[in-house]
C-alpha cells in the first residue's frame, strides 16, 4: 500500500448558529480490491479523535460527518499500520468533499473548493521555486528569467491569499509564504537568505497549524535540508542539524509548554527512525528532557531512555539467569559471530510455532548463539517446551509481563527478537524469525 500522503488536506468549516446540514467525505479507492474500510479521525495537536467510519465497497466509500463535527484536519486511515496508511483532509462543514485516492498516485479532489485551492497552491509554488533553484544552480543565467519567475512567485502568493481569504487553508498559505530572492543575489546568498526567511510567516501558536502535520513537515524539512551550499563533512552536517533544532526550539518558546513537549518528542521520534543518534541525543539532553520534566511528562523520558538503551549500536543490557545452581550472564556467553535474543512464552501459540522454526533454521548457522528468555507464570510447560530446543541457551523469567527484563528490553509482544554482533552490540531487531535467518545467512 502507498505510504502516507503528505500535504493533502480536506477542510470543513461549521455553519454558524441554527440548523446545520450534514456533509460528507466520499470517493473512490483504487485499486478497489486493496481497500475494505476507512476511518476518519480529527487531528488535535497530535492526538486523534474518532469521527466516523465506513466500509469500502467496490472501491467506493462515504463518510457521513455529524453536524456537530469541528472544522479542521481529518485523517483518513485505510489500513494497518495506521501510522503509515493514511492521508490527511480538512473538513469545513460548508461543503461535501469528493476525492479519488490512488494507491500509487495519492489523492485527487473532485469536489472541494478548500482542497482544490490548497493543492493547486502548493503545486504552483513548488514548481516555481524549483525553477528558481534550477536557475541558481546554473553557472550563468539570464536575470530577466529570474525576474519573470520572481514576479510569478509573488503573483501566485498574492492571488491565493486573496482566493483563500474566507477559507481555512488561508492559514497554511500565509504560513508557507515563500522567500523571494533579489535579482542581484548569488546562489550562496539565495540559500542563506531562504533559510533565514523559512519560518518568517509561521506562527507555532496557530491552532489550525497545530492541529495538522503542516508544522512538523515544515520543521523536518528545515532540520534535515536547510544546509549551506558548500560540501560538508559529517561533523559539520551534525553541527548544522543541531543549530537548526535550536532555531526550532526558539520558535516554540511562544507556544504552550505541553504542545512544545509533544512537538519536540514527535520530531525526536522521526529523527530517531533515521538513526541520527547524535542529533537526537543533543535534542534530548539540551531541550526535551527539561521540557518533559517541566510538563510532568515522565512517559516521554521513559520512552527515550528505553529507546536509547536498545537502539542499534548499543550494548545489549545484561541478562542474568540460573542454569541449575550456576549463575549465567549474557555478557559471559561463549564467543560467537552473532547472538540472538528471543523473548517468548510457552503459553503463546505464535511462539510455539515460530521459535521451533527459528531453532531449525539456525542449525545451519552454527556461528550464532541463541538465548531464549521465557516469560512465564511458572516453569511447568516451559520445561517441556525447552526440551525441544536443545541448541538454545534458556533463561526463565518468572512473573511474565511483570518481569524486569520486559521493561529493560521494552517487550510489548512475544516473540520479540534482537540480533547482537560478536561484541554483543544490537545490530538488528527483526519482526519475525524469517527476518532473523535472512539477516544471519552468509
**Domains of the chain: which residue ranges?**
23-111, 114-197, 216-311, 320-440
* Rg (the chain; Cα; Å): 27
Q: State the pLDDT at residue 8.
A: 38
Q: State the pLDDT at residue 3.
A: 40
Q: How far, in Å, CA of 423 to CA of 290, rounded?
A: 34
Q: How far, in Å, CA of 406 to CA of 91, rounded?
A: 42
Nearest to 398 by CA among 441, 433, 346, 438: 346
Nearest to 264 by CA among 222, 300, 314: 300
- Find the angle CA(419)-CA(424)-CA(428) to the nearest 5 degrees: 25
In DSSP terms, which residues pair with 417 in a beta bridge?
342
Q: How far, in Å, CA of 103 to CA of 57, rounded?
A: 16
In DSSP terms, which residues pair with 344 in a beta bridge?
374
Architecture in CATH of 320-440: 3-Layer(aba) Sandwich (3.40)
**pLDDT tens track of the chain, all 442 residues?**
334 333 333 333 332 333 445 899 999 999 999 999 999 999 998 789 999 999 999 999 999 999 889 999 999 999 999 999 999 998 999 999 999 999 999 999 999 999 999 999 999 999 999 999 999 988 777 899 999 999 999 999 999 999 999 999 999 999 999 999 999 999 999 999 999 999 999 999 999 999 999 999 999 999 999 999 889 999 999 999 999 999 999 999 989 999 999 999 999 999 999 999 999 999 999 999 999 999 999 999 999 999 999 999 999 999 999 998 899 999 999 999 999 999 999 999 999 999 999 999 999 999 999 999 999 999 999 999 999 999 999 999 999 999 999 999 999 999 999 999 999 999 999 999 999 999 999 8
Give the H or E element holding residue 339.
strand 338-344
The pTM (predicted TM-score) of the whole model is 0.87
In DSSP terms, which residues pair with 37 in a beta bridge?
55
8 A C-beta contact, residue 76 and residue 40: yes
* Residue positions counted in the chain: 442
8 A C-beta contact, residue 90 and residue 11: yes
8 A C-beta contact, residue 52 and residue 23: no
The DSSP output letter for 315 is B
Q: How far, in Å, CA of 9 to CA of 197, rounded?
A: 24
Q: State the pLDDT at residue 140.
A: 76
Q: State the pLDDT at residue 442.
A: 85
Q: State the pLDDT at residue 6.
A: 39
The DSSP output letter for 180 is -
Q: State the pLDDT at residue 16.
A: 33
- Find the angle CA(219)-CA(50)-CA(46) to the nearest 5 degrees: 20
Q: State the pLDDT at residue 19.
A: 41
CATH number for the domain running over 23-111: 2.60.40.1120
Can you tell me whether residue 278 is helix, strand or coil?
Answer: helix
Q: State the pLDDT at residue 14.
A: 31
Residue where the block lists cell 453536524: 67
The DSSP output letter for 432 is S
List strands edge to edge, sheet with 97-102.
60-65, 23-30, 97-102, 106-111
Strand segments, DSSP code E, in 21-162 are 23-30, 37-44, 47-55, 60-65, 72-77, 86-91, 97-102, 106-111
User: Would 23-111 and 320-440 be classified into the same CATH topology?
Assistant: no
Sign of CA dihedral 255, 257, 259, 265: positive
Amino acid at each position: 500500500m502507498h505510504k502516507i500522503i503528505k500535504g493533502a488536506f480536506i477542510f470543513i468549516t461549521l455553519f454558524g448558529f441554527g440548523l446545520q446540514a450534514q456533509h460528507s467525505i466520499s470517493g473512490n479507492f483504487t485499486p478497489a480490491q486493496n481497500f475494505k474500510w476507512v476511518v476518519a479521525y480529527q487531528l488535535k495537536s497530535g492526538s486523534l479523535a474518532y469521527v466516523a467510519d465506513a466500509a469500502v465497497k467496490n472501491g467506493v466509500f462515504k463518510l457521513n460527518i455529524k453536524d456537530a463535527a469541528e472544522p479542521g484536519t481529518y485523517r483518513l486511515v485505510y489500513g494497518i499500520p495506521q501510522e503509515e496508511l493514511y492521508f490527511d483532509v480538512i473538513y469545513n462543514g460548508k461543503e461535501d468533499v469528493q476525492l479519488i485516492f490512488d494507491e500509487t498516485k495519492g489523492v485527487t479532489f473532485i469536489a472541494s473548493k478548500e482542497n482544490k485551492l490548497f493543492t493547486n497552491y502548493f503545486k504552483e509554488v513548488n514548481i516555481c521555486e524549483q525553477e528558481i533553484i534550477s536557475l541558481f544552480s546554473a553557472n550563468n543565467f539570464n536575470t530577466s528569467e529570474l525576474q519573470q519567475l520572481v514576479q510569478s512567485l509573488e503573483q501566485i502568493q498574492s492571488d491565493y491569499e486573496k482566493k483563500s481569504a474566507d477559507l481555512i487553508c488561508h492559514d497554511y498559505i500565509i504560513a508557507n509564504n515563500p522567500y523571494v530572492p533579489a535579482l542581484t543575489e548569488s546562489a550562496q546568498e539565495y540559500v542563506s537568505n531562504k533559510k533565514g526567511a523559512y519560518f518568517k510567516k509561521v506562527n507555532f501558536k496557530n491552532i489550525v497549524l497545530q492541529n495538522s502535520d503542516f508544522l512538523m513537515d515544515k520543521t523536518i524539512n528545515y532540520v534535515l535540508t536547510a544546509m549551506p551550499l558548500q560540501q560538508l563533512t559529517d561533523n559539520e552536517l551534525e553541527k548544522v542539524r543541531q543549530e537548526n533544532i535550536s532555531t526550532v526550539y526558539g520558535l516554540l518558546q511562544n507556544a504552550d509548554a505541553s504542545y512544545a513537549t509533544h512537538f519536540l518528542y514527535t520530531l525526536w521520534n522521526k529523527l530517531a527512525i533515521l538513526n541520527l543518534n547524535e542529533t537526537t541525543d543533543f535534542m534530548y539532553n539540551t531541550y526535551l528532557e527539561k521540557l518533559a520534566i517541566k510538563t510532568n511528562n515522565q512517559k516521554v523520558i521513559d520512552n527515550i531512555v528505553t529507546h536509547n538503551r536498545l537502539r542499534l549500536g548499543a550494548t545489549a543490557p545484561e541478562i542474568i539467569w540460573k542454569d541449575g545452581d550456576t549463575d549465567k550472564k549474557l555478557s559471559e556467553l561463549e564467543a560467537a559471530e552473532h547472538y540472538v535474543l528471543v523473548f517468548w512464552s510457552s503459553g503463546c501459540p505464535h511462539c510455539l510455532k515460530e521459535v521451533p522454526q527459528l531453532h531449525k533454521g539456525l542449525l545451519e548457522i552454527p556461528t550464532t548463539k541463541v538465548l531464549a528468555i521465557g516469560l512465564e507464570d511458572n516453569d511447568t510447560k516451559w520445561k517441556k517446551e525447552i526440551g525441544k530446543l536443545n541448541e538454545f541457551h534458556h533463561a526463565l523469567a518468572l512473573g511474565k509481563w511483570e518481569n524486569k527484563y520486559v521493561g529493560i528490553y521494552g517487550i510489548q509482544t512475544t516473540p520479540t527478537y534482537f540480533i547482537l554482533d560478536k561484541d554483543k552490540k544490537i545490530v538488528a531487531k527483526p519482526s519475525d524469525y524469517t527476518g532473523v535467518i535472512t539477516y544471519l545467512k552468509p
